């Protein structure tokens, strides 16, 4: 999935397509190993740390090779704005990574919204990694270096943020002062080392942004923006003693004499920098200019329309995930909500203390909430509950018919076709009478399961080892029951654990 995600990301970067890049973020599975790395730093689990680093390193190395290969064979290798946007990391990128890491750690600890948080983490990691591959493939090492710095900044910030949150929730193998000290020093040191260059970068970007806004405003002031259009604007220099170099192309219905000098004077007064302005004025008719502006507005509207379905799908997913999380009352191993496929899958965590009845009711309520979705709550594979019968009879106790429905539901969820129905009887009476009673009980349930579409084989189990001891401990009703075993075979019935 990492390889596929990086492939999608590099294609989106080469096309300068925001929608495709977002698609890569939705596919990326990077949250798992990074969160595991953060937890292993807190718990000092060096085995897990090694596994996480190996998983990340292997996946990212192969993903880099894929992105390099795609760029090498691609006819499009120009530096798009989406590529260049990931070559100058700044302090805000560090903050995005920190918040993504905190959200990832919280989602894992609280079992809430892991899929959505995974997208946030992929936002910080996958596009920069793809840009590293682009820089290596095109031998533009300054691009590769800048994007690699952004990638490593985000990776370390996310992992350390998870580690901080894990310690906050006391996921720690040792709270000794020594361990706490070196972990604190490591975290603060890394954040400080990253913050200093990123802070300078942010200041530089802010300065360039202010210069760009000022230059554009002065050009629009010189040329009436209602009847003119800036087609190209490039700004460079302004560092140290270098003058600010401005080149632009403007479509205008009237030629403005001495426009360069007037714009230079105003820029120097506002920015306090020497400026060199060179504007190419292309005189066009007002009709041509209006047509061009209208075409640009139409292209903007088309781009907005192409992104709106994706935004709507994301909103639907958030609503569905929120509704499912509100309905689920246990820890989950799987909680997949896919609005595009209209599919919901929920599976409890192994060991979660939840019976088949509540799980079946949850599935029913979710299907009512999402009537045209494919909804499945899949119980953990475990011994099925026993069905108890009236003493000396082959009729179920009151209330046991719901348990039969639970068993049928669980077998369908597990996609089991063959079962063995094992009937028991108490030690009261003769062996032959007990065997016949146990057989009738097994046949009754087997017939019900066959009617539900299962291949059910009834067998009678008598002379259970230590039967009288079990009956003295749990009562005669203990063996007045039927068990359902998965599959066919001679394996003897196992006595379930009885509470109390």
Instruction: Supply 112's token pair.
Output: 């809430």
Nearest to 226 by CA among 245, 206, 254, 204: 254
Q: Which of 39-53, 166-180, 249-263, 285-299 shows the lowest per-residue confidence on average (mean pLDDT)?
A: 166-180
More confident residue, 162 or 498: 162
Mean local confidence (pLDDT), 126-132: 86
Answer yes or no: is pLDDT of 185 > 80: no
Mean pLDDT within 28-45: 72
Q: Is the pLDDT of residue 330 over 80?
A: yes
- Give me the chain's average pLDDT, please: 80
Residue ranges and CATH numbers for the domains of the chain are 2-175 (no CATH), 314-377 (3.30.300), 387-486 (3.30.1330.60)
Residues in contact with 57: Cβ distance below 8 Å, sequence separation at least 6, in sequence order: none
390-418 average pLDDT score: 90
pLDDT of residue 127: 84
Q: Of the given ranges (74-78, 159-163, 365-369), which has the lowest mean pLDDT?
A: 159-163
481-486 and 455-460 strand pairing: unpaired
pLDDT, tens only, 475-485: 877 888 899 99
Nearest to 30 by CA among 134, 117, 133, 148: 117
Rounded CA-CA distance 423/414 in Å is 23
CB 484 within 8 A of CB 445: yes
Q: With CA atoms as reference, report the closest residue to 285 among 212, 327, 211, 229.
A: 229
Q: How confident is the model at residue 226 (pLDDT cuts 50, 70, 90)?
A: low
Highest-pLDDT range among 62-71, 81-90, 248-257: 62-71
Report the range out of 55-59, 462-466, 487-491 with the highest average pLDDT: 55-59
Residue with tokens 């909680």: 335
User: With bands split at pLDDT 50, 70 and 90, how would you rate the model's confidence at 447?
Assistant: very high
């Amino acid at each position: 999935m990492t390889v596929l995600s990086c492939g999608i990301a590099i294609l989106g970067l080469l096309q300068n397509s925001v929608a495709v890049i977002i698609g890569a973020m939705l596919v990326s599975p990077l949250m798992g190993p990074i969160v595991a790395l953060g937890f292993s730093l807190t718990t000092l689990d060096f085995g897990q740390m090694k596994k996480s680093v190996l998983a990340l390193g292997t996946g990212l190395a192969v993903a880099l090779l894929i992105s390099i290969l795609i760029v090498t064979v691609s006819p499009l290798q120009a530096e798009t704005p989406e590529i260049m946007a990931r070559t100058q990391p700044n302090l805000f990128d560090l903050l995005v990574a920190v918040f993504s890491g905190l959200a990832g750690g919280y989602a894992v600890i609280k079992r809430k919204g892991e899929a959505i948080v995974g997208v946030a983490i992929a936002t910080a990691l996958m596009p920069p990694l793809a840009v590293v591959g682009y820089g290596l493939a095109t031998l533009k090492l300054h691009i590769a270096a800048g994007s690699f710095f952004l990638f490593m900044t985000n990776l370390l910030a996310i992992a350390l943020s998870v580690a901080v949150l894990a310690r906050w929730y006391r996921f720690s193998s040792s709270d000794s002062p020594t361990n706490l000290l070196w972990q604190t020093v490591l975290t603060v040191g890394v954040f400080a080392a990253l913050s200093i260059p990123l802070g300078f970068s942010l200041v530089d970007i802010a300065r360039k942004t202010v210069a760009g806004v000022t230059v554009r405003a002065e050009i629009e002031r010189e040329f009436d923006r209602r009847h003119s259009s800036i087609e190209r604007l490039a700004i460079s220099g302004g560092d140290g003693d270098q003058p600010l170099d401005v080149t632009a192309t403007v479509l205008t219905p009237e030629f403005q004499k001495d426009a360069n000098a007037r714009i230079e004077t105003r820029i120097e007064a506002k920015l306090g920098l020497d400026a060199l302005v060179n504007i190419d004025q292309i005189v066009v008719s007002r009709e041509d200019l209006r047509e061009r502006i209208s075409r640009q507005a139409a292209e903007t509207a088309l781009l907005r329309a192409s992104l709106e379905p994706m935004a709507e799908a994301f909103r639907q997913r958030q609503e569905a995930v929120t509704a499912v999380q509100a309905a689920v009352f246990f820890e989950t191993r799987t909680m997949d909500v896919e609005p595009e496929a209209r599919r919901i899958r929920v599976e409890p965590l192994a060991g979660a203390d939840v019976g088949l009845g509540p799980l079946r009711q949850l599935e029913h309520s979710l299907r009512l909430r999402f009537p045209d979705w494919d909804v499945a709550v899949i119980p953990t594979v475990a011994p099925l509950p026993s069905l108890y019968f009236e003493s000396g009879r082959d009729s179920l106790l009151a209330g046991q018919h719901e348990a039969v429905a639970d068993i049928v539901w669980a077998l369908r969820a597990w996609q089991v076709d063959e079962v063995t129905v094992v009937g028991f009887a108490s030690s009261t009476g003769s062996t032959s009478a007990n065997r016949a009673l146990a057989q009738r009980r097994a046949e009754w349930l087997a017939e019900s399961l066959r009617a539900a579409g299962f291949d059910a084989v009834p067998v009678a189990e008598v002379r259970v080892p230590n039967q009288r001891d079990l009956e003295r401990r749990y009562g005669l009703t203990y063996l007045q029951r039927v068990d359902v075993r998965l599959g066919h075979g001679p394996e003897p019935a196992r006595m379930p654990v009885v509470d109390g």
